[in-house]
Amino acid sequence: MATGTQTSTTKKSKSSATKAKTASKSASSSKSTAKKTSTTPKSDPATRLLMQDHRAVEKLFKQYEKAKEKPAEKQAIFQQIYMELAVHTQIEEEIFYPASRPHLDEEDIVNEAEVEHASAKDLMAQLQKMKPEDPYYDAKVTVLKEMIEHHVEEEEKEYFPECRKSDMDLKAVGEQLKARKEELMAKMGGSALQ
């Protein structure tokens, strides 16, 4: 009889310990969720603007793919891609990258982003001199798209989160990015997407 009571008491102790662990995990999960919420792109105008640019260019690349047999439409869409990327890379290089450097543990992330920009700009310059009928036009647009997708993934999954965790003034940087983007778009005859 004592053995049955002892087993019952042991089960109750284990059950209480399991409940305590679950409550502890739940509390730490709530803390980490709260932490993540305070550093989302919505509370950060700088990376939010840059991510909006990323989405705009992704949409343009999808439009390009749908226009495969329409050379004039392809060229018009590429011109939009070119303008969006030219402005985006310029505001990142002039404002965001220099502002973020002092706040990151490793500068390699910025250096890699700048090298990726240089490669993309080189390919964009080649495409500017070509016509959609050229045999390598579509291939170069495809490679540009893949380069941009890789660059966007690294920025959004590695670079931007590092900036959000730092003491970088993302509000002030966001205001600078927005003002410079509007200025550059006006010069290029476009409009800054909001």
Closest listed residue to residue 138, CA positions, set 84, 62, 68, 56: 68
**Higher pLDDT pick, 109 / 24:** 109
Q: Is 100 exposed, middle or buried (0-12, 13-18, 19+ CB in 10 A)?
A: buried
pLDDT tens-digit readout, 14-35:
444 444 444 444 443 333 333 3
The answer to whether 122 and 128 have CB atoms below 8 angstroms apart is no
pLDDT at 189: 78
The answer to whether 103 and 134 have CB atoms below 8 angstroms apart is no
23-26: long-range contacts, CB 8 A cutoff, minimum separation 24 = none
Confidence of residue 191 (pLDDT cuts 50, 70, 90): low
pLDDT at 36: 36
Percent of the chain's residues with pLDDT above 70 = 75
pLDDT at 116: 97
The answer to whether 133 and 68 have CB atoms below 8 angstroms apart is no
pLDDT at 121: 97
pLDDT tens-digit readout, 133-185:
999 999 999 999 999 999 999 999 999 999 999 999 999 999 999 999 999 99
pLDDT at 42: 62
* Boundaries of every domain in the chain: 1-35, 44-188
Average pLDDT, the chain: 83
Between 137-154 and 45-66, two packed helices, what is the crossing angle to 10 degrees?
150
The answer to whether 47 and 160 have CB atoms below 8 angstroms apart is yes
**Number of neighbouring beta carbons within 10 Å of residue 159:** 22
d(CA 150, CA 58): 12
